[in-house]
Amino acid sequence: MAVTTHILGFPRIGEKRELKFALEKYWRGEVTQSQLEETGAAIRHENWELQADNHLSYVTAGDFAWYDHVLTTSLLLGHIPARHRQGSPTLDTLFQVARGQSQHTCDCHGVAASDMTKWFNTNYHYIVPEFSADDTFDVTWQQLFDEIGEAQQRGHSVKPVLLGPLSYLYLGKSVDDGFDRLTLLPRLIRAYQKILAQLSQQGVTWLQIDEPILALELDADWLGSFKLAYEMLAGDVKLLLTTYFDGISGVIDDIVALPVNGLHIDVVSAADQLSPVLAKLPADWVLSLGVINGRNVWRADLAALLKQLEPVHEQLGDRLWVASSCSLLHSPVDLAPETQMNADVKSWFAFARQKVKETGLLGAALNGNPEAIEFCHQYSQPIEARKASQQVHKPQVQARLKTITDALATRTLPYEARAKAQKSALGLPFLPTTTIGSFPQTNDIRQQRSAFKQGKITESEYEESLKAHIRDAVERQEALGLDVLVHGEAERNDMVEYFAGHLTGFQTTQFGWVQSYGSRCVKPAIVVTDIERDKPITVSWSQYAQSLTSKQMKGMLTGPVTILCWTFPREDISRKEIAQQLALALRDEVDDLQEAGINIIQIDEPAIREGLPLKKRDHQAYLDWAVQAFRISASGAKPETQIHTHMCYSEFNEIIESVAALDADVITIETSRSNMALLDAFEKFNYPNEIGPGVYDIHSPNIPTEAWIVDLLKKAAEAIPAERLWVNPDCGLKTREWAETEASLKNMVSAAKTLRQELAG
């Protein structure tokens, strides 16, 4: 009757972001590959020891990735874009696919990175596999097998994790016109058969095979392909078919027909699926229940979970597995170092290390351990105490929410009338040039911020240093000839964390880092109480920057939906209500910016697409309140105040009507990696407002040539009338160096001038 315990994956960045720093040193040539590999091994070993120390039945191997687990799968399968193939794949091959290859590091004109997009509705990014009709697959990368061997040698019982073949195909893109990538499935399955054979030789008993696309609404061809694929994969290694992020009860009949040995479901995101899945579960299958939330930081109510799972344990006996809902990749690593957090508030949370402990304790309690049972009840006490806290619900915020009407979310004039007013007020040229907002966060900026936090410099000294960086950014932009300037955001550690730190209702962390992609980490804040703004946040910085130039200075805000999506939300109120609270706070900031003389205000919403529920039937309800939240934040703007928004790495086809409904005067989007393909949705829809398609990829060290940018702009002009086009990079420049930033922007401005002359002639 013993319950099996495991997690679906653990963060690979290290408790102190050791992997991030090692990667960046390796890319700069400061450490060797062997030194980088030593860092990775140390992180893996620590992760496995943590799982073993908390008495999990299995440690999870295969969840470590040097950049991204989907890209690791591509190398495992020998599936590398032709432009990056140079003999047998190496670690440098992996990084070239992810980051591109600069013309300065190869005897070539530069090699483009593969596309990158969001992992379902999370803020994690993955490298998109590219599929062609002549693709072949073979096992050419030994990382998975080497890491299993490492764990076994250290005495661990190992359960590897592998992205399943259907999800791998589905999450990629076809690069041949009219090509159905499902036709590659038989070839792909043969490679998976080789993987399973090698796992069997290593003595692997169970494989966690992730098929998260089963939580989507798949068409018949994709859903029907599962049976063929898994009939070919059935063998010595037992398969735990793993789903997460939403429920699968609608396809349970298809799933139980598969020749696998168990099923994992996420009962955090879809608790209502448990009963229908239990009713259909084959008698010889295990059922892994994802009850520890891998996507949020709230302490699990172990007492309630124990009560919920006891009858399931009675029914299933030792066929019950207890697990995290998804990989803990989406959680910060460890709560313990958060020494500046109020003790009561800290008691509400659990990060990845604590979630491993929760999983082990819950399993022990279900297995009848009296100490674990008692601990589960004690562990839930802070959750119960919070429900009665008078600090959480604020009457003044609740009263303001009741004032929301359709009129509050509507600009005073339609776009056509606003455009005329803005053209007169702003005096911008044809094809105006700008950037998305941030400029390089240099070591000097970071050191000054750290010194201020540690009390080594005063607040006035810190502010003067920031003003110096703003002056420098303005001078560089004027020298480059940009038309609309930004202050560069030197004062901001992160586009969301900065606002969370200046709004009441959030808890920020010291070390709560979460991987976004590669070496890029973010530190999400936590929504703990009702949200409001008690004083202006950005006004003084934008006003100072505007005083330095006669050109238009763009105010920079992060939108309500993005702040919501990129923080850890409360679980006691709806996401809609949190977004509305944020929108009202940002509306006040917009009012103050325009009163301070800032005539262009950008309200970034890069996360609006990722916030979509996985089920299409739930899309419209989400989009309705997401659009409303943006419009509440923006609709206090005067007609002559130009509202911009920015979105990156989004598939716009399914949300284009809602994007238009935002009614932003200008939208800037990522299009460079897709070679302007993302503009198709805007062309077909006949998008009415102005648009800035990103003309170069800021995530790659490649410096775009003027000719390259001119070519992209010409493609953009085929989809959007040139008089409504803006010229800009595809995202903020925070992570770049100044030398490459200035070189790229110089070519961008030159390209805009060239095209102005050409189109004028």
Q: Is 670 annotated as a binding-site member? A: yes
- Distance, CA of 506 to chain centre: 20
- Distance, CA of 672 to chain centre: 19
Q: Is 610 annotated as a binding-site member? A: yes
**DSSP-based helix, strand, coil % in the chain, nearest 5:** 45, 15, 40
Catalytic residue IDs: 699
- What's the alpha-carbon Rg for the chain, to the nearest Å? 26
Nearest alpha carbon to residue 329 among 356, 362, 298, 299: 356
Q: Is 17 annotated as a binding-site member? A: yes
Q: Is 238 helix (H, G, I), strand (E, B) or coil?
A: strand
Q: Is 123 annotated as a binding-site member? A: yes
Q: SS3 letters for 292-349? A: ECCCCCECCCHHHHHHHHHHHHHHHHHHEEEEECCCHHHCCCCCCCCCCCCHHHHCCE
Q: Is 18 annotated as a binding-site member? A: yes
Q: How far apart are CA 577 and CA 401, in angstroms?
A: 8
Q: Is 489 annotated as a binding-site member? A: yes
Q: SS3 letters for 404-461? A: CCCHHHCCCCCHHHHHHHHHHHHCCCCCCECCCCECCCCHHHHHHHHHHHCCCCCHHH
Residue 31: left (phi > 0), alpha (psi -120 to 50), or beta? Answer: beta
Q: Is 438 annotated as a binding-site member? A: yes
- Distance, CA of 74 to chain centre: 20
- Distance, CA of 563 to chain centre: 12
Q: Is 565 annotated as a binding-site member? A: no
Q: Is 181 annotated as a binding-site member? A: no
Q: How far apart are CA 91 and CA 146, in angstroms?
A: 14
Q: Is 20 annotated as a binding-site member? A: yes
Report the DSSP beta bridge partners of residue 130.
Answer: 173
Q: Is 389 helix (H, G, I), strand (E, B) or coil?
A: coil
Q: Is 130 annotated as a binding-site member? A: no
Q: How far apart are CA 294 and CA 332, in angstroms?
A: 10
Q: Is 646 annotated as a binding-site member? A: yes
Strand arrangement of the beta sheet that strand 206-210 belongs to: 4-6, 320-324, 286-292, 262-266, 238-242, 206-210, 158-163, 59-61
End-to-end CA, the chain: 81
Q: Is 299 annotated as a binding-site member? A: no
Q: How far apart are CA 239 and CA 257, in angstroms?
A: 14
Q: Which residues are annotated as a binding site?
A: 17-20, 118, 123, 436-438, 489, 520-521, 566, 604, 610, 646, 648, 670, 731
Q: Which residues are annotated as a binding site for L-homocysteine?
A: 436-438, 489, 604
Q: Which residues are annotated as a binding site for Zn(2+)?
A: 646, 648, 670, 731
